[in-house]
Amino acid sequence: MDAEDEKTFRGAQILLKFIGFCLFILIGGWLFFGPQYNVWSERLRGEAELARADANRKIQVLEAQAENEASKSLADAEITRAKGVAEANKIIGNSLEGNEGYLRYLWIQSLKTNKKEVIYVPTEANLPILEAQRLNK
């Protein structure tokens, strides 16, 4: 072997020893830090799931609160509407009180535009006069 081949052979041996040392360090590091990484990774995954569950719970609480406020607002609006209808009915009732002649006039006017054949006129007892036999003819 000449000097140059000897030098190349020594260089190859050093390179192989360096590669072996690097592999030893990598495998040793993987064996030592691998389980610790798995623990760390699982802990992060658990924290992420906990944060997601907490966020979902907060969303559900906020949706329930919004629904509660909406139902209260709808109830308040319905109460306000009912008060308005009651007030309107009271005003109409007061204006019609003692105006029996006007109400009869309106009723008679509506009879002119009525296209029905049978008209039931209430009696004093507010019972209609029935003409059951008239339709059988």
The answer to the question of residue 121 being in a domain is: no
- Per-residue b/e over 110-137, b at no fewer than 16 CB within 10 Å? eeeeeeeeeeeeeeeeeeeeeeeeeeee
Residue holding tokens 């979902």? Answer: 56
The answer to the question of residue 48 being in a domain is: yes
The answer to the question of residue 137 being in a domain is: no
pLDDT in tens, 31-86: 888 888 888 899 999 999 999 999 999 999 999 999 999 999 999 999 999 999 99
Give Cα 68 to chain centroid, integer Å. Answer: 12
The answer to the question of residue 54 being in a domain is: yes
Q: Are 129 and 120 in contact (CB under 8 A)?
A: yes
pTM, 2 dp: 0.43
Q: Which domain holds residue 85?
A: 3-112
The answer to the question of residue 61 being in a domain is: yes
Phi first, then psi: give them for residue 122, nearest 5 degrees.
Answer: -70, 145
For the chain, the C-alpha Rg in angstroms (whole number) is 48
Q: What is the dihedral of CA 67, 68, 71, 72, to 10 degrees?
A: -150
How many domains would you assign to the chain? 1
The answer to the question of residue 58 being in a domain is: yes
The answer to the question of residue 123 being in a domain is: no
The answer to the question of residue 131 being in a domain is: no
pLDDT in tens, 9-38: 888 888 888 999 999 999 888 888 888 888
